[in-house]
Structure 1
Amino acid sequence: MLKRLSISGILSLLCVLSWAQDSLISYVDPFIGTGGHGHTFPGATVPFGMVQLSPDNGREGWDWCSGYHYTDSLIAGFSHMHLSGTGIGDWLDISVMPLVEPLADTAKTLKVPFKHANESASPGYYRVILDNGIHAELTASSRCGLHRYTFPQGSTPTVRVDLAFHMNWDSPTETHISVLNDSTIIGYRYSTGWAETQRVYFAARTSAPIYKTILHDGESASDMTDMAETYDNGSGVSAQLLFDSTANRTIQLKVALSTTSYQKALIALGEVQGWDFDNVRKAAENQWEMELKKVQITTADKKLKRIFYTALYHTAIAPTLYSDADSEYQNAKGDIRSMADGASRYTLFSLWDTFRALKPLFTLTQPEKYTDMLNSMLAFHDENGLLPVWDLSTWETNTMTGYHAIPVLADAILKDWPGLDAERAYQAMLKSAYQDIRGVPDYIEYGYLPQDKAGGSVTITLEYAFDDWCIAQVAKKLGKTADHATFMNRAKSYANLFDAQTGFMRAKNSDGLFVEPFDPFWSEHDFDKSQYIEGNAWQHSFFVPHDVHGLAAHYGGTEGLSRKLDELFTAPSEMHGENISPDASGFIGQYAHGNEPSHHIAYLYNFIGEAWKTQERVRQIVDSMYHDGPDGYAGNEDAGQMSAWAVWSIAGLYPVNPASGEYIFGSPIADETNFMLPNGREFTIRTVNNDERNPYIQSVTLNGKPYENTYIRHDELCNGGELVFRMGPKPNKRFGRKAESWPGMEH
């Protein structure tokens, strides 16, 4: 029967339909990055949540670092913890798999075929219809995953919880499952892998009673009908939970996580009240909608919207929540600790990647969470004696080079970030700068890291020099004059490796001589042998973001650096060597956008009076390196860095020196970008005459007044207002030509 709607009812309905039509989450495609070498996952999570509930293909290999790759056609389970976009496989803890009947071989991992036509994902939600007829749906809260499985007629609804499941680097060391009653099981999974010590506790509750449980300890199986019985430890415990098929074709399962105990996991089950799956999904979607509203673009190009909002989505996945709701957590040493004042502890700090663009973006987009993330790094220092290099599950993996917690903390201190103790952070920085490992003593002694003392001479020297510049700026702010002078001197160490004859940064041995032979196209992935980490001389020689003008002087001036940059983008796209790094990808000449060392390079033209070349190259990179398909990233997405580059660059800015507070102009691609700032103000970047035929900036105004600089400072942006770029089809070579308009100058 048709019912007559009131005027208010019609308006409410129109509002709902309008929201659904204009929702920002509708432009997010979690499958972007799951193909190629992106290494993202498509499953359900909320911003920075502890739970990332996502499918695993059950296949080993580099392109399965996240557990899932779009080329695959099998699903082995849905686990609750995943790494997003990294180059090393770990986690995949607490795997759950629905089955049409219990497995006779209880130790077997069953991989069920599926088709992408029967699969979909959106922020906070994932669904797939497996070829065996099971309809699986997933959603999540911060610490709890919610599964909804609809089983086909004639099946024996079975849900398997498999603590033995592992891929790539990870393997279980001790596991446990206890059955509390006919709807609740608890347990834990200890494992080793990239992070050598990991402990995850869980509690799982079912929407229907379990009538039988088949437990397997890694060696033998046993049937249980007494649901008060407990099954003890093993290196790979699993449980098959059987349900009455006559009463229940749809089974829901809540799985909550904790790093301290399964008692805390039982409490975390309370994040999901009742069994209203759609309501939990809606709550997750609302969180993502609010997240995406922080930076909004206007454009008629729906492909660009999908690229932009999916990138913005990927910037809000890592680092991930590590503490319980009461702020307690268990660190890798087994100590139960608590963050002060109800703060949250985070982990998964891929700092070699994310110090460049993601962390500066957080100073605009994460006012509620960033203080806790920064203090998580300081907590790591208190527990381990040094700031993190690559923190996973509070374990120092010591992966990659530099001590890049320093630019992150320095950027925050220099921006007067609330809730961060600058003196405490500074003392932690000094510990890293004077550590007795990772080649630091030799770097201090020689003024560079000798290749015959350790690998990675060029990369490590340049990165330490930048980190030392960051320390110098904090020392200056805190009035530590002697320290400022010391670290400014150390910041010049990059110059000790510059070879004027070849125009490249080259490795030196402890005798002061360059390593021979030299080939700028040479790449070696073995860190102990490599002079350039995950790349070659072309990609690494330009990493002097703190002293671009000094770098230009080594090339004989701005024209010399300009010629070398031009050569970079036009050199043959080839690499030499027997063990070439797979991370260097996404080539334009020798520029390799698929790996982070290249990310700032296109913007360097702004520092030497040729801003138009930056505009040209940035457009080329966005157009060729970002797509709205599964292979939408040119390389590893790297925990938000590859996406952060896109967010900044589509808006028209980029933090070349991520601790300088300067955002360098590129070529804005969206018609309009609105930053909803932490202070409640709004900053708008607007373009005039913007389309693919008009990549060049003709003129700029800030709040209606002519603006000559080729960058904008953080404090200017945070004042709110409107930055307008007038675009055109030909370069305006006068814009940004004068040295007083360049970034990185003493203004």
Structure 2
Amino acid sequence: MIMKNKYLIILSAILIVSCAKKTETRTSKNENVSSYVDPFIGTGGHGHTYPGATVPFGMLQVSPVNGISEWDWCSGYHYSDDVAIGFSHLSLSGTGIGDLADILFMPVNKAVDLSTNPISRDSIPYKSSYSHKNEKATPGYYQVFLENHNVNVELTTSKRTAYHKYTFKEGDTQSVVINLGFAINWDKSIETFLKVEDEHTISGYRYSTGWAKNQKVFFVAKFSKPIVNYKLSADGNTTDKDLVKGIKTSTQLFFDGAKNKELLAKVALSSVSVENAKDNLDAKEETFETTKSEAETLWNSALSQIVVETPTDSLKTIFYTALYHAQLAPVTFSDKNGQFRLENDSIVTAKNYTAYSTLSLWDTFRAEHPLLTLIAPDRVSDMVNSMLAFYDTKKILPVWTLYGNETNTMTGYHSIPVIVDAYQKGIRGFDAEKAYEAMKNTMMQDDRGLIYYKKYGFIPYSLLDESVTITLEYAYDDWCVAQMARALGKEADYQYFLNRSKAYQQLFDKKSGFMRGKSVDGKSWNAPFDPKHSNHREQTDYTEGNAWQHSWFVPQAVDDLIAIHGGNEIFTSRLEKLFTESSEITGDNVSADITGLIGQYAHGNEPSHHIAYMFNHANQPWRTQYWARHIMDTQYNTTPNGLSGNEDCGQMSAWYVLSSIGLYPMNPASGEYEIGSPIFEKSTIKLPENKTFMIEAEYVSHTNFYIQSATLNGKPFTKTTLSHQDILKGGTLHFVMGNKPNKNWGIKNKAQQLTKK
């Protein structure tokens, strides 16, 4: 009897565990993954993200504005703040330059004086305090209670329409201030216009200059209640007319609050015209609640493209928030009818594609765009077509496009690797010959130092600031052009650009082990030399960094970089020292972008992002595994300070998304991913044709981050790279993890190395 009971107990336990496992698996497949996202991550520190509402790659980003013009308020919002001056409809996610925050709405419960020009936030008459205790953000939704006005604000969006829901205190005045003259940081209005069209509708436009030099935003807003009174103001003058124009215009609208406490507004924008904004406005039957629900559905679909399994909820929060941030930009720019405005004021039509802007290419070419080829391949060709549309205006590919304007921010022409990466991975929804023409013409013109690069084979430091960084990045762009030339059968061009892509060899100082500024004579170095020295964007050889951080940017020829260092031993010794050197940065004008330091490695800025994966090429993959995991553990967390530097439109987060599943595109246009250290027990990538690619990490834990062995579809796998094409076939990459490095896994023997050479 005792034995029988014992067997029953064991059998029951097995059944309970089995059911629990089935439930866990079912839950992981059907869970609301958007619930793990915390949009406040990155809104503190130097993350520069916003917490407001948007949909994946949406046209609108309706978000709170604090009203301070400083670096950490580049998105309009910073978590350290507790004052709001309104809610704008365009926001930048994680950039280092502040712009947008256009078309500002603010619900208030009293009449305010709009005739004065506030000299600071303190003198804005409609500002309000708020508490983070009464603030909430989820994908596609934002809510905050304005204490001074006793108004609860809720925001959501569709692809091209923002929805506002204001709940006033019973009996209070119901009013909304709209300010078109307000600007943050570099932006300023140059002409604005407001018109009360009827008792429910107001429209207008805002022309401004700033980071985007020719920014034209048209809008229309429809309210759920009739406007019973209003005041219009332009440059300090108030009028009772129904329209007003000036440099700075604003209005206060009053509504009848007798029947209910809620006031709703729908707002749509356009870069083209008020008529297009009206066309972009959602149909009448759409409500706040249905739009909020649809936004959540859209986010769940976008976030479910990669499903991760782990018992640690904080890791899911970091991962899915990163996956969320990686799909905020680029943003939809073309209207419902396909039209959009270019910086020369020409209106063009996107035919059979959606045009995108906010192309932060110096950052996003590294990991975000490669990530999109996995999770949103249908959008990639549209983004390439958008770059080609911008190319048509100046016959040069874009550098950093904001609201249809070329800002020429940062170095290189990194639309090139994005295009080549797409083509190499089989994405064909664009004209390849036109794309190649655009790439070739861009790299053969003379602007932005290319005249010196072509003449000397590198850029001499005396002729252009940031010469080392620019030379290295042009060399990489050249390599990318060469790959496209070869793919299209242009052998002469292939050889020409491949030869030019070796420009990095000109700048390598074997004695010091660094890439250094070289003089016009091609022999002498820029001296004195301090590899820790930083001088932000002027009289420097490096962009937002120093020699320690920029000397490794040769992703197209890592094996050759190792060779010119003197071999694996010297290379890995110097690479290891990057992470273990003291974190002192010298100089009187140190770049604020040098953040997230591990030794001299700066994860808070993009030039460092590929470096940890270079150990793979020097026969020390266990060091890649160690440092990749160390970066994940130390540079990301679940607080508002959870990003170690500017998010930069998705790049900081894309690094984590890919690294955490064990992959990283060290050379973003190669079509290959380096193997790192997976952090999740299982990651499932959803692919076209209902295929999946699974990455399993058996025994993975906080201490078990070293790869012991691996199989791909059941066969032994010993390479440290995996091709995009292998992923697209579907299957399973299975790792066995341990707490000590297996120094035999992923090692190339001498015969393999000689064959590769």
Partner of 1:171: 188
Aligned-partner Cα distance in 2 for 1:695–1:60: 43
- SS of the residue corresponding to residue 337 of structure 1 reads strand
Partner of 1:68: 77
Alignment of 1:178-193 (within 5 A): 178-193=195-210
- SS of the residue corresponding to residue 117 of structure 1 reads helix
Alignment of 1:98-497 (within 5 A): 98-107=107-116, 108=118, 109=124, 110-132=126-148, 133-223=150-240, 230-269=242-281, 271-274=282-285, 276-341=287-352, 343-497=353-507
**How far off is 1:245 after superposition?**
2.5
Aligned-partner Cα distance in 1 for 2:752–2:685: 24
Partner of 1:566: 576
Aligned-partner Cα distance in 1 for 2:500–2:130: 56
- Conserved in 1, the CA contact under 8 Å of 2:60 and 2:160? yes
Partner of 1:31: 40
Q: Aligned partner of 1:175: which letter?
A: T
Q: Aligned partner of 2:132: which letter?
A: H
- Conserved in 2, the CA contact under 8 Å of 1:606 and 1:742? no
1:735/1:21 CA distance change after superposition, 3 Å: closer
Structure 1 position 83 matched with structure 2 position 92: yes
Q: Aligned partner of 2:233: which letter?
A: H
Aligned-partner Cα distance in 2 for 1:677–1:32: 28
- SS of the residue corresponding to residue 511 of structure 2 reads coil
Structure 1 gaps of 5+ residues are 1-13, 224-228
- Conserved in 2, the CA contact under 8 Å of 1:184 and 1:206? yes
1:468/1:456 CA distance change after superposition, 3 Å: same
Residues 275-333 of structure 1, C-alpha deviation per residue, up to 9 Å, x if partnerless? 63111100111000000011110001100000000000011110001111111112111
Structure 2 gaps of 5+ residues are 1-22, 119-123
Structure 1 position 634 matched with structure 2 position 644: yes
2:734 alignment partner, one of 724, 727, 730: 724
- SS of the residue corresponding to residue 564 of structure 1 reads helix
State which drifts further: 108-117 or 656-665: 108-117
Residues 349-384 of structure 1, C-alpha deviation per residue, up to 9 Å, x if partnerless? 000000000111111111222111110001110122
- SS of the residue corresponding to residue 406 of structure 1 reads helix
- SS of the residue corresponding to residue 587 of structure 2 reads coil
**How far off is 1:154 after superposition?**
3.8
Aligned-partner Cα distance in 1 for 2:752–2:554: 16
Partner of 1:6: none
- Conserved in 2, the CA contact under 8 Å of 1:42 and 1:121? yes
Aligned-partner Cα distance in 2 for 1:435–1:242: 56
**How many equivalent pairs are there?**
725
- SS of the residue corresponding to residue 532 of structure 1 reads coil
Structure 1 position 553 matched with structure 2 position 602: no
Aligned-partner Cα distance in 1 for 2:479–2:27: 50
Aligned-partner Cα distance in 2 for 1:566–1:740: 23
Q: Aligned partner of 2:381: which letter?
A: T
Residues 160-219 of structure 1, C-alpha deviation per residue, up to 9 Å, x if partnerless? 111011110111111111111100011111100001000111000000111001111122
Aligned-partner Cα distance in 2 for 1:234–1:398: 29
1:21/1:706 CA distance change after superposition, 3 Å: closer
Q: Aligned partner of 1:484: which letter?
A: Y
Aligned-partner Cα distance in 1 for 2:84–2:749: 57
1:739/1:604 CA distance change after superposition, 3 Å: farther
1:22/1:55 CA distance change after superposition, 3 Å: same
Aligned-partner Cα distance in 1 for 2:483–2:73: 41
Partner of 2:17: none
Aligned-partner Cα distance in 1 for 2:606–2:750: 29
Partner of 2:14: none
Q: Aligned partner of 1:567: which letter?
A: K
Partner of 1:644: 654
Aligned-partner Cα distance in 1 for 2:655–2:286: 39
- SS of the residue corresponding to residue 534 of structure 2 reads coil
**How far off is 1:528 after superposition?**
3.6
Aligned-partner Cα distance in 2 for 1:471–1:537: 26
Aligned-partner Cα distance in 1 for 2:599–2:749: 28
Q: Aligned partner of 1:126: which letter?
A: Y
- Conserved in 2, the CA contact under 8 Å of 1:352 and 1:402? yes
**How far off is 1:746 after superposition?**
4.7
- SS of the residue corresponding to residue 369 of structure 1 reads helix
| Structural RMSD (CA) | 1.8
Residues 700-746 of structure 1, C-alpha deviation per residue, up to 9 Å, x if partnerless? 10001101111111100110000001000100000112158999995
Aligned-partner Cα distance in 1 for 2:396–2:312: 46
Residues 66-102 of structure 1, C-alpha deviation per residue, up to 9 Å, x if partnerless? 0000000100100000010000000111000000112
Q: Aligned partner of 1:150: which letter?
A: T
Aligned-partner Cα distance in 1 for 2:470–2:27: 52
- SS of the residue corresponding to residue 440 of structure 2 reads helix
1:69/1:652 CA distance change after superposition, 3 Å: same
Aligned-partner Cα distance in 2 for 1:408–1:275: 37
Aligned-partner Cα distance in 2 for 1:276–1:467: 47
Aligned-partner Cα distance in 1 for 2:565–2:174: 70
1:115/1:585 CA distance change after superposition, 3 Å: same
Aligned-partner Cα distance in 2 for 1:253–1:680: 40
Residues 476-500 of structure 1, C-alpha deviation per residue, up to 9 Å, x if partnerless? 1111111111111111100100011
1:20/1:283 CA distance change after superposition, 3 Å: farther
- Conserved in 2, the CA contact under 8 Å of 1:458 and 1:497? yes
- Conserved in 1, the CA contact under 8 Å of 2:233 and 2:244? no
Structure 1 position 606 matched with structure 2 position 606: no
Q: Aligned partner of 1:111: which letter?
A: K
Partner of 2:5: none
1:52 alignment partner, one of 61, 73, 80: 61
2:693 alignment partner, one of 678, 683, 689: 683
Aligned-partner Cα distance in 2 for 1:77–1:422: 45
- SS of the residue corresponding to residue 685 of structure 2 reads strand
